[in-house]
Amino acid sequence: MDILHLVDRLEELINLSRSIPFTHNVIVDEDRMLDIIDQMRVAIPEEVKKSQQVLAQKDRIIAQSKEEADRTLNIAKDKSDKLTDRDSIVQDARKKASQIEAEAELKAKTAQSEADEYVTETLTNLEIALERVLNQVRNGIYILDEESLQKENPTEEKSEEKQV
C-alpha cells in the first residue's frame, strides 16, 4: 500500500475523531490508529526496496551503456584498422568512431542523469512521507504526554483556572 495513502488515512482518522471540549485534543480510535501504523511499518520498507531497485536499475543501465559504447568503439577501431590502406577511408572511419564514441558517451550520461533524477525524486518523496509520519507520531506523543500530565496533576490545573 502507498505510504502517502496511509498518511492520508491517519490524518483522516485524527480529523474525524471527537474533540475534547476546551482543548486541542481528540479521542482517537486506538485500534484503527494502530492498524494504520502497522500498515505503515509494512509499507515503508517496500518504498525503500523500490528505491534500492531503482538504484540497481540505474547502475545496470549505466553498465549496459558503457558496454555498448565499448563494443561500438571496438567495432569502429576494427573497421578502421582494416581500412588503413586508404587515407580518406581511414579518416572517415576515425571521424565515425569519434562520433559513435561521443554519441555513446552522451547516451550514457543522459541515462545516468535520468536515473539520478528519478532516484532523487523517489527518495525525496519518501523523505517527505517519512517526515509527515514522524511529525504526526510526535504530535500524538505530545498530546498523550499532555493528557498524562493533566491526569497526574488535576489540582494544578484547577488552581491555574482560579488565578485567571
pLDDT digits (tens, 9 = 90+) for 95-112: 899 999 999 899 989 989
Supply the pLDDT for residue 102: 92
Domain count, the chain: 1
147 assigned to some structural domain: no
51 domain residue, yes or no: yes
Is residue 46 a contact partner of residue 126, using CB atoms and an 8 Å limit? no
pTM of the model: 0.36
C-beta separation of 65 from 106 below 8 A = no
Is residue 93 in some structural domain? yes
E strands, the chain, where?
18-19, 26-27
pLDDT at 83: 67
| CB-neighbour burial class of residue 129 (10 A; exposed 0-12, middle 13-18, buried 19+) | buried
> In whole angstroms, what is the distance from residue 97 CA to residue 73 CA?
6
Q: Which residue range forms the structural domain that includes residue 83? A: 3-136
**3 state SS of 164:** coil
Which whole number is the average pLDDT over 118-139? Answer: 90
